[in-house]
Amino acid sequence: MALQKYIPLGNTPPANSMKPLSFPGKGYEKAHLPDTVTRCTSEQDVDIDLREVYFLIMHFLSTGPCQRTYGQLWNELLENQLLPRRYHAWYSRSGVHSMKENDDGLSFPLSYGDLAERYKHIEKDHLVNLLKQLLLNTASPTQGLFGKNTLNASAVPTLLGTGSFSLMSHERDKGYAQAKCPGHMRWPHMLADQVRGLSLREIGGGFTRHHRAPAIRAASYAIAKPSTMVQKMQNIKRLRGHRNAVYCAIFDRLGRYVITGSDDRLVKIWSMETAFCLASCRGHEGDITDLAVSSNNVLVASSSNDFVIRIWRLPDGLPISILRGHTGAVTAIAFSPRPGSVYQLLSSSDDGTCRIWDSRSSAISPRVYAPRPSDSAAGKNNGPSSSTNPPIHQIFCCSFNASGTVFVTGSSDNFARVWNACKPNTDDSDQPIHEMDVLAGHENDVNYVQFRFSQDNIVTCSRDGSAIIWIPRSRRYHGKAGRWTRAYHLKVPPPPMPPQPARGGPRQRMLPTPRGVNMIVWSLDNRFVLAAIMDCRICVWNASDGSLVHSLTGHTDSTYVLDVHPFNPRIAMSAGYDGRTIVWDIWEGKPIRTYEISHFKLVDGKFSPDGTCIILSDDVGQLYILNTGQGESQKDSKYDQFFLGDYRPLIQDTYGNVVDQVCWYLFISIFTHVAVCDTVTMITWSLVFSCSLQ
């Protein structure tokens, strides 16, 4: 049987690169083509004959538009004998060459025409059908998440996918193990789980559009289009449950409840689902200064300028403990984020000390932290210090790092200090624990501090019109200098000049504007530092080089509310005394949406943990819930929500336990008619009354 060279038809241009054919006697050996090639790296290998693959490719090209390629391939396959061969039967394998050309005694080559005649059941599109079957048998990463009629990127078939979307199983496993998302999408965007992703899809997010894992897909689409989330935030629910200003309003860890603290000495717990007030926690004798929720979402702590911290249970508001020991107003509190210390509570006070408490019991003595004497403070020289009456500087703020091992404070002596949260008391329990490092650089009170997300970089701000970024030193320099060093001093730029009249006209006299910093936060991706300035601006600095990126204008009065979105690094929110709330795109430096909430001063606000809601409070006791949807579940809630006993006088014992005075008198009148009643019974019943009324 002669193997013929492919001759193109008259209407097909010949291949210029075709070489004359010459078949050596041992062309099969010359080709150096193994019979089988292993391509599968799974536990059970499968051998594939590449000659069959070449035949299928040629069969596919025979009916396509690439006729010159088909002719060239015909000659190349014949020259190198790469098509399947015809083997002799076992009883005729004598090793003697037959009369057929290129017969090696065991087999002889077949031409493409012979193969097509031999395998009539093989269609021209057999190779395409095999690939289709491979696609159908390979499960999609998002199979089963969406409906049959829902189009998404993961439903588009491709043979060229890599990593987790490769058709090769070993590459999929490698992709899951080694694939890394961009730095600004790693932490904490992985917290955007499927539940959060589904909520994003319902409000317009792109849960089905991106070919990624559910957690990152939801966050990444929101990063690409931040306006999608805000456009759905149009339902504003207004409530009132306090008589005076509500300077504290926070969410619990899951976003199911809102806790408010007011100057009317009440702490209230609200349901986000129904907008009803669930509990009114009474007992404080002063204004509420701060609120905190434990990381396990079990306890709520409230501090006051009555020097006391009270612990309540979520969501019923049952009193748990009363922490007393400070001799000044408690200015800030924070629960430890350390997994093994979820009940440890940090507090700062005007008495110049910090304490770490066991929030479950007041019987356990707290760890006391106090600054070193002023003459040993770095960069401070006030002359000879008096050891008998050392000066006391107020501590305004405190903040844990992400691991809960250290915390930072800001005080009225222009210093920020870093403390070891894990260090136990010394043998002498009366001696306080001193700071690890003193951060000197401000010229006025340090009124706000914050650790960087997931890192130990610190940002501090002051009324002197500046902010400072501090970075930890290498361990080799800890003994020579402080453990933190100043990286960038962020100066607040002057405000933009107003338009001046034409030349020759009366010129306005520019009065100096305050440029102190009210509040400062890190952006979620740690790339920027945002600050609320006293002249109504929001300044954005680049955290990597300290350069000013944006100076955002939109407020007409002081701003004391600034928060970043929980898993979208582009979105931030600010609210001010002008009653206006602005949601910003900090990457572009533009407002996404402005809400005219109220004509009262907005004094506190937060994003919900799922990022779909904003809570705001004002200086007259009102609460504003800005959320998505139509508010059907909240339509039955009333505007005024007060309990009958909210403002009735209380009776307090020596331990700080309180009971309603009216119920106490009723309780006393009942037991005056009982002949036998010991003191233990009276105390027991008083505690029952106290707990039932909280």
Q: If DSSP states are collapsed to H, E and C, what string results for 629-667?
A: CCCHHHCCCCCECCCCCCCCCEEECCCCCEEEHHHHHHH
65, two tokens = 């538009």
Ramachandran quadrant class, 375 (left: phi over 0; alpha: psi -120 to 50; beta: rest): alpha
Least confident of 62-66, 294-298, 494-498, 578-582: 494-498
**CA 195 distance to own-chain centroid:** 14
Rank 130-139, 213-222, 624-633 by mean pLDDT and report only the highest.
624-633
Query: DSSP strand E in 106-196: where?
Result: 107-109
Is 567:192 a contact under the CB 8 Å cutoff?
Answer: yes
| Count of CB atoms situated within 10 Å of the CB of 524 | 24
Q: Domains of the chain by range and CATH? A: 27-135 (no CATH), 138-225 (no CATH), 444-493+513-552 (2.40.10.480), 658-693 (no CATH)
Q: Is 376 helix (H, G, I), strand (E, B) or coil?
A: helix
Asked which of 448-457, 558-567, 667-676 is least confident by mean pLDDT, the reply is 667-676
Task: Using alpha carbons, select from 407, 254, 267 the residue that is nearest to residue 341.
Answer: 407
Q: How far apart are CA 665 and CA 551, in angstroms?
A: 60
User: Which of 18-27, 226-235, 322-331, 684-693 is the least confident region?
Assistant: 18-27
Task: Give the dihedral of Cα atoms 535, 536, 540, 543; nearest 10 deg.
Answer: 60
Strands (E), 362-498: 367-369, 395-400, 406-411, 415-420, 437-440, 446-451, 458-462, 466-472, 484-491
The pLDDT assigned to 33 comes to 45
Predicted confidence (pLDDT) per residue in 197-215, tens digit: 555 555 444 333 333 334 4
What is d(CA 326, CA 351) in angstroms, rounded to the nearest whole number?
7
DSSP type of residue 14 = P
Instruction: Give 291's strand partners.
Output: 302
Mean pLDDT of the region 628-657: 88
Q: What is the pLDDT of residues 285-325, one digit of tens each?
A: 999 999 999 999 999 999 999 999 999 999 999 999 999 99
Q: Per residue, what are the HEC states of 210-250?
A: CCCCHHHHHHHHHHHCCHHHHHCCCEEEEEECCCCCCCEEE
Asked if the model's pLDDT at residue 381 lies above 70, the reply is: no
In whole angstroms, give the CA distance from residue 356 to residue 419. Answer: 11
Residue 665, burial from CB neighbour count under 10 angstroms (0-12, 13-18, 19+)? exposed
Beta pairing partners, 355: 347, 368
pLDDT at 405: 93
C-alpha closest to that of 399 among 390, 391, 412, 408? 408
The b-or-e profile of 222-236 (16+ CB within 10 A means b, else e) is bbeebebbbebbeeb
CB 17 within 8 A of CB 29: no
What is the pTM assigned to this prediction? 0.66
Mean pLDDT value across residues 143-152 = 44
Res 388 pLDDT > 60: no
559 or 174, which is more confident: 559
**Average pLDDT over the chain, rounded to an integer:** 77
Quote the CA–CA distance of 20 and 672 in Å, as a whole number: 124
